[in-house]
Structure formats: structure tokens, C-alpha cells
């Protein structure tokens, strides 16, 4: 049996990863384009023995991957090395490289596979029946001869026998958007209009944009109670924000923290990332420190961080809020944090070795206060002064650190439906302490009224970048 391919470049990839990020990682690792269809495109590994199939929107991806896994012992499906569901309904499958076969040979295989390969047929039919029961627009089995290929071992294998009825699905999105948005959840179709469509296209960009805008508009037009209930039931674990795709926007600071973080940890010997969440931000770094640690106080996030970062050799410390950093004195040359809850500069200074650096992006004062005040009521002068960059820089200096850089930014936030508001308030519970959709229903409905009147609720976030060094 051939050796398994080296897929460490995909270790950080998970349900919060965007498909374009996967494509970028593979291209930078030497993978090359080797084909495209209507729903997906493919990249070949540097040695040519492995192919990554990336689909921006593929409702059938998990079912196909399940077939490959459950029918693996038959030898009549491709060897699936990795399957990951990506953000917004995108799909990644990494499998062995296959070769085409003559059409007549492929057609004969399909015509007789039930009699000659009953174990394969049993899995194909069982998985397909479940898919058709659970998934709208799941079509019949695809008996196109191009769905039979030859494996590296010379066997004929079946690929992609399941498909979504694209014409019906996209017709529903265009002609019955009200029904469509209630049938397919927003988080499963964020990249609806980004499929390649190389065989059936072209699909002009202006038409793609118009369809996406119509679906978004219909999403936002649903009754407030429906949007609130949907957001109240949505997952808020981890530190990814893909659920807000198309529902809210926030400007990004000009310094591009994720790039600065990647450069810093890639050059570090011993590093610790504080309040890492589910490891989403750190996990985007292509290279981590030689000895990488992270801390997280919320158990669900810590579990996600272990899942995402553990395979890369990262030590995940699940600690109580405000607990000391679990590293010895002067043991780290880098401490990082993105939006730490309460930065403890004395602890940061304690674990940094001489010449070590603290690199962080902090939430600044009055961040999102327009929304907070609309839901929670007026804030005090003391609250509005909290997290001020000059105050934090002063505390860093008092702890013995030299502040070498301090940059600030005020950024526009827009919320296009009340569901986005509910979701962010659940995600960031310190914004409105004690928030629930029941106790705050009246102000939520008022915010909903403003959104429907003005098209969006506008707030502003503040951020500051701080670099400090241990002399």
C-alpha cells in the first residue's frame, strides 16, 4: 500500500477555515491546479500522487466522503486521506490521484456494479437514501461514465455518485428566495455563488452578485422572532465569526495582526498565545514556534484548541480566568494575544526572557458601545474609559516592559439583521452582562426596527496594537 501523503500543511484547517485560505496554503506548499468542474476545482500535490478537491459550496460533500470511508474495504472507491467541512458550506476532500478510463469500460462497470460488487452497492444505496431523506435537492445517482476512474493500483473506482440538483437549487434561490432561505441554513450556503461552473458556465459575475444579494435580502427580511430564535440556537463556541458572513461586517485594522502574528511565532523558540479561543487565529499561521503554548479558560474553546492545534504539537493549557501563565520565569521569547480579556502585564513580564516581546491586538475603549447602550442602557464615564490604550501602555511600563509600538484604530461595524446582533451578544457575553433573548427582547425588537428602517445598525469598534519588550 502506498505511503500516506504529508498533509501537515492542512493541519490548521477546520470548520472555521475559508476555502480560499485552503487554496492559498496548498499553492504556497507547491500544489498545482489540475482540473475544475461545475462544483469544485482540484489541486495536485508536488509529487503528483494526491489531489485536493475544493468546493466553495457543496451540500453533497459530506455524503460523498462518507461513502468513501464506509466503502473503503471494497477497494472500489478512492482512498480518502482527509475530509474537512469548511466555513460557510465549503468542502475539502484529499484523495489519491486517479486516472481516466475509456468510456465503454466505465459504462460497463456502472451497468454491472450491483451484481459484481454488492458490498459497494449496499453502501452506495444506503448513504444515498439517507442523503435524499435529509438533504433538499439531492438528485438521483449520477451514472455518468466520467464518474469511474482508475486507481494507482489499477482498479476501477466510483467517484462522486451523489450530486445536488444544481438547476433546481439555483432556480429556487432565484425564483423562490423566501422558500430557499428557510430550506437551506445561511451557514451552509455562504459561498453559494462562488462555485467554478467550468462545465456549464460561464456565469457572469454581475449575475452571481445579483443572486447573492437577493438571497441576503430575503434572509434579512424574515420575521424578527424567527431571526432571534435562529441566532439563539446557533453555535457560539470557538473564536470564529463565519456565522456572521453576509449578516454583519467590521472594518479591519490596517496593521493586519494575523500576518504580524504569523511572522512572530514562525521565528520564535518558545511562545505562548493567551486567551487563544479555539485556536482559530493562531492556527492560521503556517509555522508555529519551536515550542508553542496556548492558554484558554473556557472549556468548550479549550477543547476546540486541542482539536485544532494539538496535531501540530501545541500544548493547550486550560486555566481558570486570571490564573498565572503556566510557564516558568523568563522562559518565553514571545507572548501573543488577540483580544485578551484582561491582560496581566506583570505575568507577561514574568514569563518573558530578556529581549522577549509581547505582541497583541487589544480591544479598545467604547468598542461597540452604540450597540451595547441600545440593548443594555447608558454606560458610565468609567466604563467608557476602560481598556484605554494609554492606560494599558502605562501598566505595561509599570510591569517593567518597554512599549516599542502603540497604534490605534476606530472601525465601522454594521449589523444587517437582528440575528447577527443576538449572535454577537451571545458570543461576547461581557458586552451585555446577563444577556438573553427573553430578558432583553424589548430592546432587541427596537434594534430590529432600526435595522429595517435604515438597512443596518451601525456601531464602531476600537482596536490597538501593542508591542512591548522585556529589557
Q: How confident is the model at residue 1 (pLDDT cuts 50, 70, 90)?
A: low
Considering only residues 152 and 314, tell me which one the structure prediction assigns the higher pLDDT: 314
Query: According to the model, what pLDDT value does residue 100 have?
Result: 94
Neighbour-count burial for 383-416, b at 16+ CB within 10 Å, e otherwise? eeeebbbeebbeebeebebebeebebbebebbbb
The answer to which of 236-245, 292-301, 328-337, 402-411 has the lowest mean pLDDT is: 236-245
Q: How confident is the model at residue 8 (pLDDT cuts 50, 70, 90)?
A: confident
Tell me the whole-structure pTM to 2 decimals: 0.72
Average pLDDT, the chain: 94
3-class secondary structure, 360: strand
Q: How confident is the model at residue 199 (pLDDT cuts 50, 70, 90)?
A: confident
Q: What is the mean pLDDT of residues 322-349?
A: 96
Q: How confident is the model at residue 185 (pLDDT cuts 50, 70, 90)?
A: confident
First-to-last C-alpha distance (Å) of the chain: 55
Count other C-beta atoms under 10 Å from residue 367's C-beta. 23
Amino acid at each position: 500500500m502506498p505511503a500516506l501523503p504529508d498533509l501537515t500543511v492542512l493541519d490548521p484547517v477546520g470548520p472555521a477555515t475559508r476555502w480560499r485560505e485552503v487554496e492559498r496554503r496548498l499553492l504556497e506548499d507547491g500544489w498545482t491546479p489540475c482540473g475544475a468542474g461545475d462544483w469544485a476545482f482540484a489541486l495536485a500535490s508536488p509529487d503528483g500522487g494526491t489531489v485536493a478537491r475544493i468546493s466553495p459550496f457543496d451540500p453533497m460533500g459530506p455524503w460523498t466522503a462518507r461513502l468513501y470511508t464506509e466503502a473503503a474495504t471494497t477497494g472500489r472507491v478512492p482512498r480518502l486521506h482527509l475530509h474537512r467541512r469548511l466555513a460557510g458550506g465549503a468542502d475539502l476532500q484529499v484523495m489519491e490521484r486517479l486516472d481516466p478510463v475509456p468510456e465503454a469500460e466505465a459504462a460497463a462497470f456502472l451497468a454491472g456494479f450491483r451484481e459484481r460488487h454488492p458490498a459497494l452497492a449496499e453502501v452506495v444505496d444506503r448513504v444515498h437514501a439517507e442523503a435524499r431523506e435529509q438533504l433538499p435537492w439531492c438528485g438521483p445517482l449520477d451514472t455518468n461514465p466520467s464518474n469511474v476512474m482508475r486507481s494507482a493500483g489499477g482498479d476501477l473506482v466510483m467517484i462522486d455518485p451523489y450530486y445536488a440538483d444544481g438547476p433546481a437549487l439555483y432556480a429556487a434561490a432565484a425564483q423562490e428566495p423566501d422558500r430557499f432561505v428557510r430550506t437551506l441554513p445561511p451557514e451552509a450556503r455562504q459561498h453559494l455563488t462562488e462555485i467554478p461552473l467550468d462545465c456549464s458556465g460561464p456565469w457572469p459575475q454581475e449575475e452571481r452578485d445579483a443572486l447573492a444579494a437577493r438571497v441576503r435580502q430575503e434572509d434579512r427580511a424574515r420575521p424578527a422572532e424567527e431571526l432571534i430564535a435562529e441566532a439563539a440556537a446557533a453555535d457560539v463556541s470557538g473564536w470564529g465569526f463565519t456565522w456572521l458572513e453576509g449578516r454583519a461586517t467590521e472594518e479591519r485594522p490596517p496593521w493586519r495582526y494575523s500576518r504580524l502574528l504569523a511572522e512572530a511565532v514562525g521565528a520564535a523558540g518558545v511562545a505562548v498565545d493567551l486567551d487563544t479561543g479555539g485556536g482559530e487565529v493562531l492556527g492560521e499561521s503556517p509555522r508555529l514556534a519551536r515550542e508553542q503554548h496556548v492558554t484558554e479558560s473556557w472549556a468548550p474553546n479549550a477543547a476546540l484548541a486541542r482539536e485544532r492545534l494539538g496535531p501540530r504539537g501545541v500544548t493547550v493549557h486550560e486555566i481558570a480566568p486570571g490564573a498565572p501563565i503556566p510557564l516558568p520565569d523568563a522562559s518565553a521569547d514571545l507572548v501573543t494575544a488577540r483580544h485578551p480579556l484582561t491582560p496581566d502585564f506583570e505575568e507577561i513580564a514574568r514569563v518573558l526572557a530578556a529581549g522577549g516581546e509581547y505582541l497583541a491586538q487589544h480591544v479598545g475603549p467604547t468598542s461597540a458601545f452604540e450597540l451595547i447602550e441600545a440593548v443594555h442602557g447608558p454606560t458610565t464615564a468609567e466604563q467608557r474609559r476602560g481598556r484605554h490604550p494609554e492606560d494599558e501602555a502605562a501598566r505595561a511600563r509599570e510591569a517593567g516592559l518597554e512599549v516599542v509600538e502603540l497604534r490605534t484604530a476606530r472601525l465601522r461595524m454594521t449589523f444587517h439583521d437582528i440575528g447577527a446582533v443576538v449572535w454577537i451578544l451571545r458570543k461576547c457575553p461581557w458586552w451585555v452582562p446577563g444577556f438573553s433573548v427573553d430578558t432583553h427582547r424589548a430592546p432587541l425588537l427596537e434594534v430590529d426596527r432600526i435595522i429595517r428602517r435604515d438597512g443596518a445598525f451601525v456601531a464602531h469598534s476600537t482596536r490597538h496594537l501593542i508591542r512591548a519588550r522585556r529589557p
